[in-house]
Structure 1
Amino acid sequence: METLTVPESSFLFTMDVESLYTNIETDKGMAAIQKAFQDHPDPKRPDKEVLELLHINLTCNDFNFNEHTFLQIKDSHALLHKHSFHPPHTFRGIVRAQLLRFRRICSRADDFHEATGTLFAVLRKRGYSRSFLRRILKDLNTQPRTSDQSPIVPLTSFFSSHAKRAHHTIKMNFQTVMANTRISDHKVISAYMKNPNLKGILVKAKLNSKTTPSHNQPVIKGYKSKTGFCTQKGLNHTSRNCVYCIQCKKCNQHVGETGNTLRTRLYGHIHNIRHARGPETALVRHFRAHGLTNLTISPLESRVGWSTGQRRHAEQQWIKRLNCHVPKVLFGMKKW
């Protein structure tokens, strides 16, 4: 790299892998390293011993030896900051879970107190107060957790200050409102989903199937366009709640949407064309002139949970992709 000359107009992009150890399966990681050893043999390298040491290092973070419990002294305890945007019970649950883990793996009280002291010292730097930590430790020692076998009603939503108040109101009034119903003895368990953020989009985003066509991926091209767009796989004439494209073999395209099955919608169009129903529409006029033998229909996209508004939004997106919204295109003149 010392011999490289970097132009002044260049941009530097870097990438950092975070928490790789906790995000990959240990067995697959071991298999990848073993394959790398086989592909690049070195007679001076003790492959067997290195793999065995790696296995111990990855699978035996906390272990017992000679009646003593040894903890992972390099544990970073990279837990949530106390001031992060999470519901209050999340912080209590994290600390309690760590203490329960220490209690399970520590056979001596001295080891437990040492591990707890190390954890609390790190958490103090992350905004946790001494009284908060001591209260959780006291509750753990005086109030062992008991299992509640009551049937539950799950309540989930994205976390926000408004959702927090709504959850609290529902839980406080559930028994009163549902007193005379079959679920009066149920218990409401609330949970929050993480809101979408930039890190989640960049780190965990999957490749869009519309931009990565395979040999069996259905593709449709816009009118007089060389650009192809991947459509959703597995759709057919029985698909419901979908967006589709009607195409004339001689000329243009039209994108439409329906909440019924594609077959029902197609039969409706054929009926209108044969009996000249709605002659003012561009679709009927066109196929009355060109004939039904030139009509083809293709499903583009379908979602079970689509509302009417979401389905029409998807329709507009496909109209733009296939360039059906241009006034010169026949079927773009009026939607049906």
Structure 2
Amino acid sequence: MVTQSPPAAIAASGLRKSFGDHVVLDGVDLSVPSGTVFSLLGANGAGKTTTVKILSTLLSADGGSARVGGHDVQAEPDAVRAAIGVTGQFSAVDNLLTGVENLLLMADLHHLGRREGRRRVAGLLEQFDLVEAGGKPASAYSGGMRRRLDLAMTLVGSPRVIFLDEPTTGLDPRSRRGMWQIVRELVAGGVTIFLTTQYLEEADELADRIAVLDHGRLVAEGTAGELKRRVPGGHVRLQFADPQSLDAATRVLGQASRDTDALALRVPSDGSLRALKTLIDRLDEQAIEVGELSVHTPDLDDVFLALTGDPDHEKVTTS
């Protein structure tokens, strides 16, 4: 008996969008499995926010199709909206209301009963460490607290798909890592996260799969490791205990770069386990002892610059 895999939480084919003569999306295809984090990576103006707006029914595409939560975004927008939550670049928090009042407002908008709404709000305040701040006006919140409240408001309706559009922009490193932990906990509970970000480290930390968007087109997609292996510059550094071992390894490996003073070789490699095993096997066959071995692969900064191929294009942020 063949078991069918569950439908993708988000699926898009040939999405196109233009504003006047400016093409923002030029045939974007996406497939995001349920219960995963998918990160759309790109510089400002690459089309990330436009993609989110189309998938969350806030904007109509000029061409192509998309389904979110099993529903067609064009034909069934209400069903899509009922299945999703959206946290945008700019907080939706009302500064004149307290944290509790912001959450209760969302509960009313989701037509939760009074008892259910208060139960849901109490749970979210606990989950997002906002119990003590819940009675204070949102205007008194720090940036990190506001973003936590914003995301808590998104979760009032218990969405199974959440769009996070640059959710940690402007946060300090500690607050950003706090948000990362919240995202991990949501995914562990079965929620699907569609994350757009300018922070390469954020995508590397969180995403199961990453797509690179450049000038409205997807130029690459894969895991962080797969994308890094596509970029030249990866290598294995071998260090030896004596000059004899270094000489022997140089003869065996051929294309390696030699550092005689450090008794080391730099061997080009894509960093994969297969390539590493092949390298070690070649050394073992000649009984060459290696003192230290380290693998160096390109980071996502290298990936972005290599794949976009435009040194003058606005760069994503690396920290």
Do Structure 1 and Structure 2 share a fold, with TM-score over 0.5? no
Pick the structure with more helix per residue. Answer: 1
TM-score by length of 2: 0.30
Bigger relative CO (Cα 8 Å, ≥ 6 apart)? 2
Pick the structure with more strand per residue. Answer: 2
TM-score by length of 1: 0.29
